[in-house]
Amino acid sequence: APAPANPLSPPPAASTSAGDRFLAELRAQTEALKRSTEERKKRRGFFPLGGRGEPVELPEVPTFNLAEQIDEILQEKLRQANISTPVKIHSGPKGQIQIQVGARMYDAVDAVEDAQIRAIIQSAIDAW
């Protein structure tokens, strides 16, 4: 069987147009990138120790949800204030904080109409 062509070798002499040279160079770069990617996939972990390819154990990072943490504080403050209106802090679709008071949603504490609930929400945020 004939030996596979070296993708880094120059194009055949018959292909002398600039377009052919460009395509040959592009193919060579693509093949080099594929080989580089395959080599990286073989490694384990972010930084192999001593080049041995041993996996690096990374500590598990707890998930962080700002809205949930503030809401826990808020719920306790609402119980202490004996507020019966349902109030909840949510994470919005873009990661922003959303405030639900009854059936209404607010994007900012200042937008909450009820002054007492607004003050309790702000107090929960300050306590966080």
Residue extents of the structural domains in the chain: 1-61, 66-127
Is the full-model pTM beyond 0.85? no
Reported as a single tens digit per residue, the pLDDT across 17-42 is 666 776 777 778 878 777 777 776 66
Residue 107, pLDDT above cutoff 60: yes
Q: What is the pLDDT of residue 20?
A: 73
Question: 62: which 2 tokens?
Answer: 């707890």
Helix/strand/coil for 91: strand
Element (H, E) at 89: strand 87-91
Q: What is the pLDDT of residue 65?
A: 81
Q: What is the pLDDT of residue 72?
A: 96
Return the minimum-mean-pLDDT range out of 26-30, 92-96, 117-121: 26-30
